[in-house]
Homo-oligomer: A and B are copies of this chain.
Amino acid sequence: FYGMVFQDSDVAKWLEAVAYSLETHPNPKLEKLADETIDLIGRAQLEDGYLNTYYIINGIDKRWTNLQECHELYCAGHMIEAGVAYYKATGKRKLLDIVCRFADHIETVFGPEPGKKKGYPGHQEIELALFKLYEVTGEEKYLNLAKFFIDERGKEPYYFDIEWEERGKTEHFHGMRDLGRQYAQAHLPVRQQTKAVGHAVRAVYMYTAMADIASETEDKELLKACKILWDNIVTKQMYITGGIGSMAHGEAFSYDYDLPNDTAYAETCAAIGLIFFAWRMLKIEPNRCYADVIEKALYNNVLAGMSLDGKRFFYVNPLEVVPEACEKNGTKMHVKPTRQKWFPCACCPPNLSRLIASLGQYIYTHQGDTLYIHQYIDNKSSMEFCGGNMCVTQKTDYPWDEKIDIELALQGEKEFTLALRIPEWCKNPQVSINGQIVEIGDNTKNGYAILNRIWKDGDKIQLLLPMEVLRMRSNPAVRENIGRVALQYGPIIYCLEEVDNGPDLHEVKLPLDVEFEAKFDEDLLGGINIIEVEGERVDGKWPDEFLYSSDIDITYNTSKLTFIPYYAWDNRGMGEM
């Protein structure tokens, strides 16, 4: 064993990513490596089903004594997710059986029955994993255990105090207890929580499981809590990039409308977790508000987490970076001005791997006779729908191009509804079927264009989502954004980089009457739409010897500005953003 107490989870997340990758890109060499890893994991598992190399190696007598800090249930959750994914991808049961035995062991330790511990994880994750295990095995005990963990959280007496007393008041991470009950969302029973607080990844992993359980058990109170928490995030605590968690202290939410750009945390994992949560909500209620956030988080905060070559990563994704500030002002020392090869806490890179390898899961849902298309991504998908097999093909260069061509392959003719998400940013969408323009008009529901007809094999739908450069303003309650706009084109949020625009980017101004030119540059950063505009910037006439003056004016010259997609920054050397 080496590394963080939760190091096992990296292997688990890698295995899960391998599973998704094998589904779309078979690779015998990779599969063999995964199988060997699973064999190794199997050999590590104890007779009673327990599986966590930190405790197996460093003292099995200490297991389950520090749920608050030591991530045992978190690591278990990730291994369960891997087992489920690998089984679904390959049909191989070995890891699934391992994690079932582990989950069965956990169920002997935790639960409502007398003699079992009334604990719950310090870092939520196992709840959503147990739900997946329930779905794939049909075993209700896993659903019940997930529900137990969710229901137990926030109750009095506070479990993390109980276990702390019992283990002799030792701590694993210095100062973690000082972060308080909100840090792990254990300040209130989950159904009473109305604001997203604490560690952002823990929060959205928990909300994800809450939505899963609410849906499956038809728990209206739990679903209501999910909606309230969702609304709090997206209307008060989310960066325009889909980033969440505005402060480094506790990697956490701070408070409503507190979204500083330069000291932001906006962890890559948190935006990924927000996608998990949004997807559960979208499955429950097809509404573009959820799919729009998935798109926003994916193309902005999440993709920013990785360099274009896939070899370097951001953990923290602020919206304003000055490399000198990261180096010399301790307030920003959590911000890396350039992507890193790896991290001692390496949660984000494998989270990116498993999200990107599983993107296909986020494109379609169906309810009754309605097939929803939530995301526009070049793909070909087979699905069971309306009692038969159907294949949907999307051909598109979206988000670089407005045109999405969709083709249906089905047996014979079938009446059903195709629901196409119209992103909120798109003012004038157009739909045509087999070359004939269809008026959408009022025929939309919750942000989806509703196309009901008798469909036949080979039907072609073309969706146009015309893009214009938008000046996005923030609710004025967002203190840090007063007087500022962000540019958006399609679903992409834009930024200025020093490499294109020189240093001192805070000296740039965007007059109200400027005209933007958006154009595709196939040679730049793998091919992107850039935005060019004649802006203004400070003319540099302020004399060095004055720090403050009432006599000197700050004057501006016109200056060409080039904006690139935010996610693509820091791929051409370090500089201001």
A475 engages B547 (CB within 8 Å): yes
- Report A368 CB to chain B, min CB distance, Å: 29
Q: Is A115 an interface residue (CB 8 A)?
A: no
Chain A 225-241: CB-based contact to B (< 8 A → 1; otherwise 0): 00000000011101010
Kindly state the separation between the CA atoms of A473 and B538 in the bound complex, as whole angstroms. Answer: 13
Not counting A473-B552, A482-B507, a sample of 16 additional A-B residue pairs whose C-beta atoms are within 8 angstroms of each other reads A235-B545, A240-B548, A247-B331, A249-B331, A249-B333, A255-B325, A258-B329, A260-B329, A473-B553, A476-B504, A477-B504, A478-B547, A482-B506, A483-B483, A486-B548, A488-B550
A247-B329, A329-B246 known; A506 vs B488 contact (CB < 8 Å): no
Binding site for B on A (CB under 8 A): 234-236, 238, 240, 246-250, 252, 254-255, 258, 260, 263, 322, 324-325, 328-331, 333, 425, 470-479, 482-483, 486, 488, 504, 506-507, 538, 542, 544-550, 552-554
B248 engages A548 (CB within 8 Å): no
Give every chain B residue within 8 A of A325 (Cβ-Cβ). Answer: 254-255, 258
Q: Considering the complex of A and B, which 6 residue pairs feature the smallest CB-CB distances, nearest first? A: A249-B330, A470-B550, A254-B329, A255-B328, A479-B506, A476-B538
Q: How many copies does the complex hold?
A: 2
Kindly state the separation between the CA atoms of A549 and B236 in the bound complex, as whole angstroms. Answer: 13
Give every chain B residue within 8 A of A546 (Cβ-Cβ). Answer: 235, 475
A249 engages B329 (CB within 8 Å): yes
Kindly state the separation between the CA atoms of A479 and B329 in the bound complex, as whole angstroms. Answer: 13
Nearest CB to that of A174 among chain B residues? B174
A250-B330, A263-B263, A507-B476 known; A471 vs B547 contact (CB < 8 Å): no
- Report A369 CB to chain B, min CB distance, Å: 31
Nearest CB to that of A197 among chain B residues? B328
Nearest CB to that of A471 among chain B residues? B550
Most buried by B among A546, A548, A550: A548
Kindly state the separation between the CA atoms of A308 and B39 in the bound complex, as whole angstroms. Answer: 73
A479-B506, A482-B507, A507-B482 known; A474 vs B547 contact (CB < 8 Å): yes
B331 engages A548 (CB within 8 Å): no
Q: List 23 A-B contacts (CB under 8 A).
A: A234-B547, A235-B545, A236-B547, A240-B548, A247-B331, A248-B330, A252-B330, A254-B325, A255-B325, A255-B329, A258-B328, A260-B331, A472-B548, A472-B549, A472-B550, A473-B548, A473-B552, A473-B554, A474-B547, A476-B542, A479-B506, A482-B506, A482-B507
Give every chain B residue within 8 A of A504 (Cβ-Cβ). Answer: 476-477
A547 engages B330 (CB within 8 Å): no
Complex partner residue of A331 from B238, B248, B553, CB under 8 angstroms: B248
Q: Is the interface of A mostly helix, strand, loop or mixed?
A: loop
Kindly state the separation between the CA atoms of A550 and B504 in the bound complex, as whole angstroms. Answer: 26
Give every chain B residue within 8 A of A538 (Cβ-Cβ). Answer: 476
Most buried by B among A248, A328, A545: A328
Give every chain B residue within 8 A of A330 (Cβ-Cβ). Answer: 247-250, 252, 254
- Report A542 CB to chain B, min CB distance, Å: 5
Nearest CB to that of A486 among chain B residues? B548
Most buried by B among A252, A329, A331: A331
Kindly state the separation between the CA atoms of A181 and B247 in the bound complex, as whole angstroms. Answer: 29
- Report A198 CB to chain B, min CB distance, Å: 11
Kindly state the separation between the CA atoms of A235 and B544 in the bound complex, as whole angstroms. Answer: 7
Nearest CB to that of A549 among chain B residues? B473
Give every chain B residue within 8 A of A258 (Cβ-Cβ). Answer: 324-325, 328-329
- Report A27 CB to chain B, min CB distance, Å: 41
Most buried by B among A329, A478, A547, A553: A547
Nearest CB to that of A469 among chain B residues? B550
- Report A153 CB to chain B, min CB distance, Å: 21
A547 engages B238 (CB within 8 Å): yes
- Report A42 CB to chain B, min CB distance, Å: 42
Kindly state the separation between the CA atoms of A554 and B473 in the bound complex, as whole angstroms. Answer: 8
Kindly state the separation between the CA atoms of A549 and B235 in the bound complex, as whole angstroms. Answer: 11
Kindly state the separation between the CA atoms of A250 and B477 in the bound complex, as whole angstroms. Answer: 32
Give every chain B residue within 8 A of A549 (Cβ-Cβ). Answer: 472-473
- Report A539 CB to chain B, min CB distance, Å: 9
Kindly state the separation between the CA atoms of A254 and B331 in the bound complex, as whole angstroms. Answer: 10
A249-B333, A538-B476 known; A328 vs B254 contact (CB < 8 Å): yes
